[in-house]
Structure 1
């Protein structure tokens, strides 16, 4: 029987999304979230100042056959929140307080890459810019997320 604190509880989820071995202990309490798995997001790099992940267009399109605008934001918020949480460190957690995106061009197939770069890493706020590009390096959208950093409550 596995409980919420068993490190192997999310092993399949971590394998599917490419979570580096050194971060699995940190994520073993909550995993990466079912939406990340459903969207097909794969982490290539995870850090407080820079994170990179890919997401397939297929399965994440809107009625016109292009990548759904909300999918752009899911990838952006995932990368920004993970980066902010890594910055916050042990004993603290992050809560998204603002996210916005500008869509520059549509894409109907292939793989989208999100590159997250820190704009501000403070003691109470972390802000990141996330740029989504297609397989040819063309910018598809630009997003920004701000996370508030909070102390964990001990019960």
Structure 2
């Protein structure tokens, strides 16, 4: 790694490097939802999630499951941006559900909108296997100094 790459706050890390820095990986909820992290940097985070097991009573992908995926992606990107001096905590999320997904895998792509010293914001687009947009979300995270947490 060159000095230029090391100094870049958005230099890509491997998925394993990012997860190794998290006390509980992506967390128990992400594990239960079947979320698989594929790509992670402060600028862009990509993950997949199965529809099966994450549906509401009518067999459609649960809107809350889409929000869990979106929050996971935005939080992971924010955590990479905040590392090593700060931790990220979600403070706002919204979602618009465009179409139903009934089977297969959905893919979420979080793209940084703002990477500041005390706050980050990500747009998250979730699509089905045909590339059709299922959900659009926006998440904002606050960056808190590590010493304020007892992990």
TM range (shorter): 0.7 to 0.9
Structure 1 unmatched ranges of 5 or more: 1-18
Q: In the superposition, relative to structure 1, how do residues 25 and 65 fare at CA in structure 2: closer, same or farther (>3 Å)?
A: closer
> TM-score by structure 1 length?
0.84
- Residue 121 of structure 1 corresponds to 115
> TM-score by structure 2 length?
0.86
CA shift, 1:140, in A, is 0.4
Q: Pairwise CA RMSD of aligned residues?
A: 1.3
CA distance in 2, matches of 1:66, 1:88: 35
- Residue 25 of structure 1 corresponds to 20
CA distance in 1, matches of 2:71, 2:88: 12
**1:48-63 correspondence runs (5 A):** 48-63=42-57
CA shift, 1:20, in A, is 2.4
CA shift, 1:52, in A, is 0.3
- Normalized per residue, the structure richer in strand is 2
**Structure 1 residue 38 and structure 2 residue 32: aligned?**
yes
CA distance in 2, matches of 1:24, 1:93: 14
**4+ runs deviating over 4 angstroms:** none
2:73 to 74, 79, 97: 79
Q: Give secondary structure in 1 for the equivalent of 2:24.
A: coil
CA distance in 2, matches of 1:127, 1:133: 20
Partner deviation per Cα, 1:90-127 (whole Å, 9 max, x = no partner) = 02101111000000000100100000000000001100
1:135 to 116, 124, 129: 129
Aligned residues, how many? 136
Structure 2 unmatched ranges of 5 or more: 1-13
